Amino acid sequence: MIALVTGCIGLAVALTILLLMRKDKLHAAHGLAWFAVALLFACLGFAPGIVDMVAGWVGIEYPPILALSTGMSLLVLKMLLMDIERSRIEVRNQRLTQRIAMLETELQSHRASEFTSVGDNTGRCSANFPGSKRDSGRRSDDQD
């Protein structure tokens, strides 16, 4: 009976993953890994003898420990991968925030210099603003 329950839970999780992917709530790249885990969960649920067999091969006397420690290791690995991905997203988010701020300042400066040139009708730009004539040596910020 317990095998049936755990197998059904695995299948339900797999179906939920498919549903989330279908509704665009879960990115396919993440969904694939979770779908595989859910299917594995279902397989082990319907055929718990697999765990006993593998535990026998590797010399573990109490087979549930193998399933438990494998599951925990996978969870830790997944969490580590999530933090790596999060770090990457944080950096990208920060770079974008910085870029928006820089572009906003450049836009303001551009508007100010346009205003100045219209105001005095001399065509001169404000000397210290990026984008002005003085700024002929402008370089791009290379890493974006």
Partner 1 sequence: MIAPGIMDETTAPSPDTPREHRTAIVMPAHNEGEVIGGVIRDIRRACHYEIFVVDDASTDDTIRAATEAGATVIPLAAQLGAWGATQTGLRYALRSGIDTVISMDADGQHSAASIPELLAPVLNQQADVVIGACTQRGSILRKIAWRLMKRTSGLALEDITSGFRVYNNEAVKALASWRATLLDYQDVGVLMLLQAKGMRIKDMPVKMQPRIDGKSRIFHSWVIVAYYMSQTLVLGMSKRRARHSSNKYIVRGQ
Q: Is 140 in the site for partner 1 (CB under 8 A)?
A: yes
Q: Is 143 in the site for partner 1 (CB under 8 A)?
A: yes
Q: Which is nearer to partner 1, 23 or 138 (CB)?
A: 138
Of 78, 75, 70, 36, nearest to 51 (Cα)?
A: 70
Q: Is 122 in the site for partner 1 (CB under 8 A)?
A: no
Out of 7, 26, 109, 113, the residue judged to bind partner 1 by CB under 8 A:
109
What is the size of the binding site for partner 1 (CB under 8 A)? Answer: 26
Out of 5, 81, 102, 107, the residue judged to bind partner 1 by CB under 8 A:
102
Q: CA end-to-end span of the chain, whole Å? A: 57
Binding window for partner 1 (CB under 8 A); candidates: 18-26, 28-36, 37-45, 126-134: 126-134
Q: Is 123 in the site for partner 1 (CB under 8 A)?
A: no
Q: Are 8 and 41 in contact (CB under 8 A)?
A: no
From residue 144, alpha-carbon distances to 31, 91, 93 in Å are: 29, 11, 12
Q: Which is nearer to partner 1, 4 or 91 (CB)?
A: 91
Angle at 82 between CA 40 and CA 63, to 5 degrees: 35
CB of 124 to partner 1, least distance (A): 12
Beta-sheet strands, E only, within the chain: none
From residue 24, alpha-carbon distances to 11, 27, 29, 92 in Å are: 20, 7, 12, 22
Q: Which of residues 70-89 bind partner 1 (CB under 8 A)?
A: 87
Q: Are 113 and 126 in contact (CB under 8 A)?
A: yes
Q: Which residues bind partner 1 (CB under 8 A)?
A: 87, 91, 94-95, 97-98, 100-102, 104-106, 109, 128-130, 134-143
